[in-house]
A and B are shown apart, each in its own frame.
Chain A
């Protein structure tokens, strides 16, 4: 079961309306290495992963939903006061004609979210290496977003999220070591 808590994990402030930046940030909402993919990946893998790692996948998967809400908040705040001219200038007309200013799970290039972004192999080492790679790809994406953004308030929140990817990656690496010990103890005949 999950229970919603009516607060963000970390504050999200926006310096000014900037629909173009929102268009880029949607990559981390519905893109291949975004927060939705992360949450669904870990919470799906946890059912069949060895016991030692079930707690970690549950907790990191849950934290990813808090990150998804932070990205949604950024996109919402960056676009809510946008004029039609700003929407056109940002190249968001294609989004607007379908969705108005509502959010949608898609990448910055407009590809809709797909479950094919997620791997689930049932082999614990394969799954955890996939998870480490996912965190590193998300960290890199946050870096590219920070490089392109000139909103200091947004960058503060993006830096927080970038750091969380590093911590998650480290924890997954420790999980691999835990499983190696566990598999080393197993007797095969």
Chain B
């Protein structure tokens, strides 16, 4: 059950990240499209909320000081992405 909940929240993060990478590449070739820029900044805020919820429950997504580490359930523990 917990496994399913984790997968669902991860999926939410992957979905908003998909929108962000699409807008990111689009803005690379259309830097003056202000609507796309608005959408990008809006999604970035949405992403931040999901990321923070995910990390609170399942541990840090990033290292090098970009997420808070902890013990237990910290960076060094699995499952790693290829094991989920």
Contact = CB atoms under 8 A, between A and B. Distances in A.
Contact of A6 (B11, B30, B61): B61
Contacts, number: 63
Given A3-B66, A5-B61, A55 B81 contact: no
A159 interface: no
A69 B64 CA distance: 20
Contacts of A9: 14, 17-18, 21
Interface residues of B, number: 26
Nearest to A69: B81
Contact of B62 (A5, A10, A76): A5
Contact of B81 (A7, A59, A63): A7
A36 B67 CA distance: 27
A11 B13 CA distance: 11
A60 interface: yes
B81 A6 contact: yes
Query: Which secondary structure characterizes the binding site on chain A?
Result: helix
Contact of A8 (B28, B60, B81): B81
Nearest to B54: A7
Contacts of B7: 11
A6 to B, nearest CB: 5
A50 to B, nearest CB: 13
Query: Which of the four size classes fits the interface of chain A?
Result: 20 to 34
A12 B75 CA distance: 21
Contacts of A168: 25
A71 B26 CA distance: 25
29 contacts: A3-B62, A3-B63, A3-B66, A4-B63, A5-B61, A6-B60, A6-B75, A6-B80, A7-B13, A7-B61, A8-B81, A9-B18, A11-B7, A11-B10, A11-B11, A56-B28, A56-B29, A59-B21, A59-B28, A60-B25, A69-B81, A69-B82, A72-B82, A76-B82, A77-B82, A168-B25, A171-B29, A174-B29, A175-B29
Interface of B: 7, 10-11, 13-14, 17-18, 21-22, 24-26, 28-30, 60-64, 66, 75, 80-82, 84
Closest 10 CB pairs of A and B: A73-B82, A56-B28, A174-B29, A55-B28, A8-B81, A6-B61, A171-B25, A76-B82, A3-B64, A5-B61
